[in-house]
Each structure stands twice: as structure tokens, then as C-alpha cells.
Amino acid sequence: MDERLMGDDRSIAYEENGISIYRASGIGSCLTALVAAKTGYEPARGQYQEKILTNAAREGNMHEPAIIEHLKAERGWRVWGGQDESEIRVIPKVFVRGHIDGICRPPGLRNNRLLEVKTMSSDRFKKWMSAGTNVRSRLMSDEFKTYGWQISTYMKIHGLPAMYVVKNRNTGELDISELKLPPVDWKTIKAKVIQAEMYAKRDELPPCAASSGDQFFCEYPYLHDADRVFEDEPTEDEPVFDTATGALIAGMAAHYVDLAKQVSLLKPTDDERKLVGGKLIDAMGGPTGPEEVTAGGWLVKRRKGNRKTLDVVAAAEALGVEPDVFAAVLKDHTTVDNLYYYPQVKRIGDK
């Protein structure tokens, strides 16, 4: 269960008394979202996505206690420790924390298991059953990988295999599986948290590498690329386009801003926004054109981004850990320049 369903509405990563906390339920989110949460960006999930997640949370709260009671009363399971807090240290002053659904021992088993309970609509349950041939492969799929990261963290903390129980809320069907090996190894989880911490300490967002599933439910959909609506005031010597090209730039700038406002609603809209952004850069003359133009009341700046991989030595020094700690968890630490360009758009006179 997501610990935020129990009244704690803090973000997927936060600071607590000088300690960095990453939620087990959110650790599978994209790196950009984790860093955004840790550095205080405001969530801005779309209304449609928010409604889906709110309904799912409500249904989960209703169904999960009943599922556990069914396992105990009808199937003879022993279950205890529900919602106990679990946490593990990644590096000094950095922890992953969550709340387990319980510890269990089904009949016929001599040793304890973790218990993880999920509830799904019929459509999502169908996706779950078709996402892989067994529970581990399903939890490694793109559709359900956030669940995989969560249970893998709990398995590391408690040193136990898990019983994974998924209920179709519409039909009552239960899928019960034993998970002997974690879908995500601890070194991978640890490396991701360390990366997030390094970016957060530098107050820098990593380039987005989120999948379509990550983007749809992300709390920070406006950060899925490097685009930013800037707040700088126009300069006095900026080039002014009053020609047909200027009219084209002005029209696309207005369209670009309108699409940016809708970015969290539907991914196709965001794809169109990015396409318009590329054409807008081309209309300005591409990388060799002027950095700033005004057209039809719009000020458009061409911004340059640079995607880099992490430098393991600098990261180790910044976090106060030995470089070999990073060498064990980060395989590729070569810094590579990868230049790209994107527009920043603002109507002249807007605050």
C-alpha cells in the first residue's frame, strides 16, 4: 500500500530533520520526478489522472482490509504487522521508507513471507495478467515497474520472499503468487537514490527519461522535457521579426503556450507541443539564428540544454562517500555532451 493513503500526503521524496527520505511506493518513479519532489517542485497532475488515482486509493482502502481478512478466515493464513514502518539506509542521512501490508505465513509454509496486496479495475487487472508469465516478470514490465521497485525494497529491508496478492475489484478474482526473488536488485535501487541525491544537492534536474506510463501518472508532467516558460524581461537590442516569418513565429508561439497549459492532460497534446517547439526553433533560424526574437507581441528565446551522465568521483565527493561505493552501483560514469535546443515563450508584458 502507498503510505500516502494513510493520511501522510508528503511527496515521494522529502527532507525530515536533516534526513533525506524516499518513499518505497514512489522509488520506481522516474529520476526527474524524484529530484523534483526532493527539491520542492509543486505537483501539477492533470484532473483526469488525479481522479483515477484518487478513486484507486479509495477503492484500495476499502478492499485491502477485506482481502487480508479473507486470507485469514477463508484460507488459513496468519497475517500480522500490517502498516508497520520499514526503512533502510542507502548512504548516511539518506533512507528509503515505506509501510508494509503485513508479514504472513500461508498454510504449508514453514517460514514467513512479506504480504503485498493490490487492487485493480477489470481493465488494469487484465493488463496485469497479460504483462508477463509470472508475478516477477509482471513486476518488471513497464506497466507495473513502480510496484516492482516498491516490493523489491521491502524484500531487501526484511530479507524475506513475498506473497503478492492482486484483486480484480469488479469480479472479486484473486491472483496470488509467491515472489522468491526481487524484480529489481538492491544495487540498482541504491544507485538511483544516490543519483537523485546528487542532483538534488546541486539543485539540478536530470534530463527526463520517463516512459509513457510514468508520464501519464507523474506528479510533475511539466518537467518531462527541458522546456521552461521563462521569466526574464525582454532586452532592448533583441531582433524584431515583422515579416511573414515573424507572423509565423508569433502564431506558433501562441500555440506553443496553449499546448504547454494542457501538457498534463493528454500525452498526444504534449507530443504536438514538442513538435511545434521544434518548428519554432527552426523558424528562428535554428542553432545559428538569433537567440531572442519578438514577433506579434511574443518574445521567444532559444535555450540550449546539455544532457550529461554522472561523474562518479564528483558525486562521491559531494555526498561524502568513497568513490568505490559508486563504482559498485554505477556502471557508466562517463560525461558526454548531448546538445539540444528548445524555446522559452512569454507574451511581452506578462509577469
- pLDDT band for position 314 (50/70/90)? confident
pLDDT at 164 over 60: yes
Q: What is the mean pLDDT of residues 72-83?
A: 93
pLDDT score for 333:
47
Q: What region does 18 belong to: left with phi over 0, alpha with psi -120 to 50, or beta?
A: left
For 91-119, write each residue's pLDDT tens digit.
999 999 999 999 999 999 999 999 999 99
Task: Tell whether the torsion through CA atoms of 308, 145, 112 and 72 is positive or negative.
Answer: positive
pLDDT score for 296:
80
In whole angstroms, give the CA distance from residue 249 to residue 301.
11
Q: What is the mean pLDDT of residues 333-343?
A: 65
For 17-47, write each residue's pLDDT tens digit.
999 999 999 999 989 999 999 998 877 665 5
CA–CA distance from 125 to each of 34, 65, 117, 143 (Å)? Answer: 27, 19, 13, 11
Pairing of strands 298-306, 339-347: antiparallel
Q: May I ask the CATH architecture of the domain 3-190?
A: 3-Layer(aba) Sandwich (3.40)
pLDDT score for 47:
55
Q: What is the mean pLDDT of residues 157-172?
A: 95
CA–CA distance from 272 to each of 22, 78, 244 (Å)? Answer: 33, 53, 23
At which residue does the C-alpha cell 532592448 appear? 236
pLDDT score for 319:
77
Q: Which three cell numbers stand for residue 78?
A: 496468519
In whole angstroms, give the CA distance from residue 256 to residue 259.
5
pTM score of the predicted model: 0.63
pLDDT score for 338:
66
Percent of the chain at pLDDT exceeding 90:
42
For 235-265, write each residue's pLDDT tens digit.
555 566 666 667 667 777 777 776 666 655 5
Q: What is the mean pLDDT of residues 264-285?
A: 75
Domain residue limits, the chain: 3-190, 225-347
Tell me the pLDDT of the chain averaged across its residues: 81
- pLDDT higher for 82 or 177? 177
